Amino acid sequence: MQPSLTKFTIKIKGERNDVDALIPSSIGGEAVISGTTTSAPQECKIGEQIDINAPAFQDQEESNLLKPAEATSLEKVKDNSSDDDDQDCSNAQNQLVVYNPPDGASDDVEFSPDAVPINFLTPPQRSQLYNLQNSVSRNLPSVGAFTVQCAKCFKWRLIPSKEKYEEIREHILEQPFVCEAAREWRPEISCDDDPDIRQDGSRLWAIDRPNIAQAPLGWERLLRIRGFGGTKFADVYYVTPSGKRLRSMVEVQRYLLEHPDEAEGVALSQFSFQIPRPLQENYVKKRTPRLTFPDGSTSGTPGSSQARPLSWSCPEANTDLQLGMLDYGSPYQAPVVEPPSATYQSPLHESIDRPAKRSKQPSGQMYNGGYTYMNLQQDEGRRT
DNA sequence: GCCACCGGTGGC
DNA sequence: GCCACCGGTGGC
């Protein structure tokens, strides 16, 4: 039984160009905002459109945040930004949280409990969080941190290990995560404490799937984040007890048949190749329809399509907002991935060095305990 | 030569 | 439009 979480909060604050933000909806959707925005938090309901230039609302206490059971429309969040240019929202495709973080700022955006980010941390950030060794694999982003949102206070809590994260994720729907659960590794933690992490634009987030089974004993589930602008966001691999990497259910099934010794007590239901979804809408290249002409030639090049706003037409909106819908149940968990070094600056620490070209990068460990560091492809990279 | 990574596509 | 699957290949 999935929580009925249908509300999202939009918060747009400060000024910044090329904003991309996306928040998933547990009722099956994601929302993306991109382009240039100019301030003002605002509220929007499903099916309505939002003018990101305008509306603001009064400061709200956290108690005003939506409660899952009654969530039916966008909710407000606490905000301290200006509140001029109030306007109605209209035509937004769904409820969402969008914010326009000032560069380097640490915004205060709360997610509804079904947002499941993977965000991107700098190596120093990750080292602080997880005491990781260098785990750069080529030049790719990777999960930098896992976070889970408290079902009660909606604050994000960092999960100290991939294993714990996967354990939580496996049962997240039946057993929603709450801050008190984090007392296992943080005895004093409660909903009264500040969130461990916020959607402040310093990281890229991706939405994970709920209730993915933990890998069988002796097996490891690997999530490999692909480079920016590829045809796919990530790949999942399962590493067998003997070290072989399997990349599909077909291969798993075949492997189990061929290795009955390792197949004992292992069921196919323990495997899932579902990948998270990036919150940065343009992270994955759109696949354009292939048109076939009478002479047999085709047109439509993947990547040639620029992401377009789906329903963003408030007059003053000088932006390219994009709305879409995610389709996850109630993803609470959030792996965190490294940011593109040249475009993201950590508000906490130094920015990542611009990555060298992929071909020059040393190979690192595959996953290194689940929290590897990788850089995103930069503009010098492939694809146009 | 291996394999990690990426692209492409068929099926839905 | 999404995703499961797998072939190709660049980098090591």
Q: What is the pLDDT of residues A233-242, one digit of tens each?
A: 999 999 999 9
How many CB atoms lie under 10 A from the CB of residue A322? Answer: 24
Considering only CA atoms, which residue is closest to the C1' of nucleotide B3? A245
Asked whether residue A287's C-beta has any atom of DNA/RNA strand B within 7 A, the reply is yes
Q: Which nucleotide is nearest to A305 (CA to C1')?
A: C1
Distance CA A246, CA A223 (A): 12
Residue A66 CB contacts under 8 Å (≥ 6 apart), including other chains? A7, A9, A75, A112
pLDDT digits (tens, 9 = 90+) for A232-276: 999 999 999 999 999 999 999 999 999 999 999 999 999 999 999
Instruction: Output the distance from A120 CA to B7 C1' rounded to whole Å.
Output: 25
DSSP 3-state of A143: strand
* DSSP E strands, A54-97: none
Distance CA A61, CA A271 (A): 42
Residue in A71, A70, A60 with CA at minimum distance from that of residue A109:
A60
Could you tell me what percent of chain A has a pLDDT over 90?
Answer: 28
Q: Is the dihedral of CA A329, A289, A98, A338 positive or negative?
A: positive
Q: Is the dihedral of CA A41, A42, A48, A50 positive or negative?
A: negative
> Which residue's entry shows tokens 């759109």?
A286
Asked whether residue A138's C-beta has any atom of DNA/RNA strand C within 7 A, the reply is yes
Instruction: Output the distance from A249 CA to C4 C1' rounded to whole Å.
Output: 8
Protein-proximal positions, strand B, CB < 7 A: 3-9
Amino acid at A315: P
Mean per-residue pLDDT of chain A: 54
Query: What number of residues does chain A have?
Result: 384
Of A345 and A334, more confident: A334
